[in-house]
């Protein structure tokens, strides 16, 4: 019987074929963290990122460690976001260090809050910020960001992690503050809301009163749309605690979702990114 000749395939080609089939090479690209996002965007579009950079260690967690600052800088740079909101900074000097690590100009930055609840924002354009006092000693951070002829009003919030009642009060106060503003401004509400709505995945880590979280979410979505709805979890264990809400009158959502693989050390949140185009040429003045 005549035997067919043996076909020898170089091991490198076998590995390449297997890697392509399994998608192993997705991490090699500089834009690997942006799976599901259009890398090429129209000039003038807005990419927004929100990220709780704190760590899960300790009884109530810890703020961003100085040893993790470089990882935050690398992720912001890779994200190509124009407007970045950070929660749980350890100090204002950390944000200054992040700006310097990004190359300084054209970044502008601002902070709000005290202790390990410091909120930070960075923008590649004109940035005007002020604190918004909330109950229970919390602050929200209001920002007017302008790039060219376009401007957006954004409020960043880090809601209480352990009390749904406190979250409910804080979110209600922020919505009262925003009332009517979306009629004049493109509007965003972003941050770590600690809303625990996936009851089938409950681990009883954050919520002590589920109906209040549902009430809080419904209050926001009466006015604003949830950019990350159905896009996956942002925090351990399989929880969607981070949000980008927007008003569709002036902003059109292109894509949104968590940037997996961005955590460093004992961080327990992924960044959430949303791409927007402008529905109008309204300039906030």
Helix (H/G/I), strand (E/B), else coil: 185:
coil
Of 283, 274, 277, which is closest to residue 80 (Cα–Cα)? 274
What confidence score (pLDDT) does residue 58 get?
A: 64
Please, what is the average pLDDT of the chain?
82
Residue of 199 and 11 predicted with greater confidence = 199
Query: In this prediction, what percent of the chain has a pLDDT beyond 90?
Result: 58
The confidence score (pLDDT) of residue 116 equals 62
Determine the pLDDT at residue 37: 55
Sign (positive or negative) of CA dihedral 166, 171, 174, 176? negative
pLDDT digits over 199-230, tens only? 555 554 444 567 889 999 999 999 999 999 99
Q: Does residue 63 carry a pLDDT above 50?
A: yes
DSSP 8-state assignment for residue 158:
E
Give the HSE-up count for residue 69: Cα atoms under 13 Å, Cβ half-sphere. 17
How much is the pLDDT for 144?
Answer: 96
For 37, the 3-state DSSP assignment is coil
| C-alpha dihedral (82, 110, 267, 104), degrees to nearest 10 | 60
**3-class state of residue 22 by DSSP:** helix
Residue 95 has pLDDT above 50, yes or no: yes
Distance CA 128, CA 239 (A): 32
Q: Are strands 126-133 and 118-123 parallel, antiparallel or unpaired?
A: unpaired
Residue 184 has which token pair? 């004049």
CA distance 215 to 213: 5
Please choose, from the candidates 94, 74, 82, 84, the residue with its C-alpha nearest in 3D space to the C-alpha of residue 52. Answer: 84
- Per-residue model confidence (pLDDT) at position 39: 57
What angle, rounded to 10 degrees, do the helices at 210-221 and 164-178 form?
10
Question: Which two structure tokens, joined as six digits, stand for 203?
Answer: 């681990």
More confident residue, 112 or 17: 112
DSSP 23: T
What is the mean predicted confidence (pLDDT) over 38-65? 82
Residue 269 burial class via C-beta count within 10 angstroms: exposed 0-12, middle 13-18, buried 19 and up: buried
Per-residue model confidence as pLDDT tens digits over 226-260 = 999 999 899 977 889 999 999 999 999 999 999 98
A 10 A CB-CB count for 197 gives 16
Confidence of residue 54 (pLDDT cuts 50, 70, 90): very high
Calculate mean pLDDT across residues 179-197. Answer: 89
pLDDT for 97 beyond 80: yes
Q: Is the pLDDT of residue 161 over 50?
A: yes
Task: State how far the Cα of 87 lies from the Cα of 92, in Å rounded to an integer.
Answer: 12
* Domains, the chain, ordered by start: 43-278 (3.60.10.10)
């Amino acid at each position: 019987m005549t035997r067919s000749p043996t076909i020898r395939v170089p091991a490198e080609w076998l590995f390449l074929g297997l890697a392509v089939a399994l998608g192993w090479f997705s991490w090699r690209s500089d834009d690997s963290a942006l799976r599901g996002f259009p890398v090429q965007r129209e000039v003038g579009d807005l990419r927004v990122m929100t990220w709780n950079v704190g760590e899960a260690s300790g009884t109530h967690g810890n703020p961003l460690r100085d040893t993790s600052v470089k990882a935050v800088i690398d992720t912001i740079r890779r994200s190509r976001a124009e407007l970045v909101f950070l929660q749980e900074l350890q100090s204002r000097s950390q944000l200054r260090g992040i700006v310097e690590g990004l190359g300084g100009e054209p970044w502008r930055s601002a902070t709000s809050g005290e202790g390990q609840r410091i909120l930070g924002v960075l923008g590649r354009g004109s940035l005007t910020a002020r604190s918004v006092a909330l109950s229970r000693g919390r602050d929200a951070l209001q920002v007017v960001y302008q790039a060219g002829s376009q401007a957006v009003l954004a409020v960043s919030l880090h809601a209480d992690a352990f009390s749904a009642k406190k979250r409910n009060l804080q979110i209600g106060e922020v919505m009262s503050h925003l009332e009517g503003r979306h009629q004049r401004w493109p509007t965003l509400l972003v941050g770590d809301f600690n809303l625990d709505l996936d009851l089938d995945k409950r681990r009883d880590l954050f919520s002590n009163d589920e109906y209040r979280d549902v009430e809080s979410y419904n209050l926001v979505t009466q006015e604003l749309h949830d950019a990350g709805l159905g896009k996956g979890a942002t925090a351990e264990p399989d929880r969607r605690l981070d949000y980008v809400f927007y008003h569709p009158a002036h902003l059109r959502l292109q894509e949104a979702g968590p940037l997996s693989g961005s955590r460093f050390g004992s961080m327990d949140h992924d960044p959430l990114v949303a791409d927007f185009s402008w529905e109008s040429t309204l300039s906030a003045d």
